[in-house]
Amino acid sequence: MASQAELTHLKNDEPLEHVLEVIEADGAVIVEDCFSDQVINQILSELMPYAEKSGSNRTHISPAIAAFFGEYTRHVTGLASKSPTFVAEVLLHPLMLDIADSVLGPNCAGIQVNVAHMLVVGPGAEAQFPHRDEDVWVHMPQPSPEMELSSVTALCDFTTEIGATRVVPGSHRWELDRQPEPHEFANAEMPAGSRVIYLGSTIHGAGTNSTKVQHRPAFHLSYMLGWLRSEENNCLATPPDIARSLPRRAQELLGYDIHYAIDDGGGYLGALDLKIPADMLASGEL
Ligand SMILES: [Fe+2]
């Protein structure tokens, strides 16, 4: 019988080059010790009230989306507008940004946030169907460059029982119609404060939460080529009145920058009144 697939575990102080080597080989990596218990507890105290308020029976865009997320998962969206600690520690996490710049930088003039959500997967939640995150841009001709770098950050210890993310190492190189066998999934078991970081082209999905009472809180945070349209409308999720107080880099990542490709022979995207929105936040024009 074939042995079960596994993911490589690295630490947050691992040299970038080695992290990139693992991602290139496997399409995914686990990075431990990204966030301390203190940071996690602070973020949970800022965000769990929203999760409790939203409940798991929110209305989704369509029945297909509702089925994808299931009936036991609570969502908190637009995290940058709700948790200053999330912005400072997670959105601007240096290693993740360095990886995103390395993976996506060659095919854009700058990266942007795709989506920043907290998902609290409740007991009884079934495994998500295996998917590639980049399939949100299904109209992109294939083969395409890497479009997205995603991450799931564990806000509790991730075990197989509680529904650790399931990842198929190497699937970023597969033919698009190849389906993974059960032994080709690796369970991203990792302590709280770790992240599993994976390419948009890597097959994965949340595992089944087979516990009776435990919830599985985690962040999904992904970055994308700056010229793509994002899954979350980030400028509306973090409107100017809130964005104004955020660090400039966070504003830029949330869509208040322009995608300036003039130096590459292209044009620019995302301007407002022919200006850079982040400049307008700084000057008070916005
Ligand atoms: Fe996903």
- What domains are there in the chain, each with its CATH number? 9-233 (2.60.120.620)
Distance 136 CA to ligand 1 centre (A): 10
Say what the pLDDT of residue 68 is: 79
Distance 72 CA to ligand 1 centre (A): 16
Six-digit token string for 192: 């709280």
Distance 150 CA to ligand 1 centre (A): 8
Q: Report d(CA 142, CA 279) in Å as an integer.
A: 36
- Position 163: which residue type? G
Distance 118 CA to ligand 1 centre (A): 13
In sequence order, which residues have a C-beta less than 8 Å from that of residue 131 and are 6 or more positions away? 203, 204, 205
Instruction: Please give all residues whose CB falls under 5 A of ion ligand 1, grouped by chain where several chains appear.
Output: 133
- The pLDDT tens digits for 73-113 are 899 999 999 999 999 999 999 999 999 999 999 999 999 99
Q: Is the pLDDT of residue 165 over 80?
A: yes
Say what the pLDDT of residue 70 is: 78
- The pLDDT tens digits for 16-73 are 999 999 999 999 999 999 999 999 999 999 999 999 888 666 788 888 888 777 778 8
- Count the helix, strand and coil residues of the chain and give each as a percent rounded to the nearest 5: 35, 20, 45
In sequence order, which residues have a C-beta less than 8 Å from that of residue 230 and are 6 or more positions away? 112, 113, 114, 115, 224, 255
The sign of the dihedral angle between the CA atoms of 167, 172, 176, 178 is negative
Distance 10 CA to ligand 1 centre (A): 21
Distance 273 CA to ligand 1 centre (A): 35
Distance 220 CA to ligand 1 centre (A): 8
- The pLDDT tens digits for 203-225 are 999 999 999 999 999 999 999 99
- The pLDDT tens digits for 268-285 are 999 999 999 999 999 999
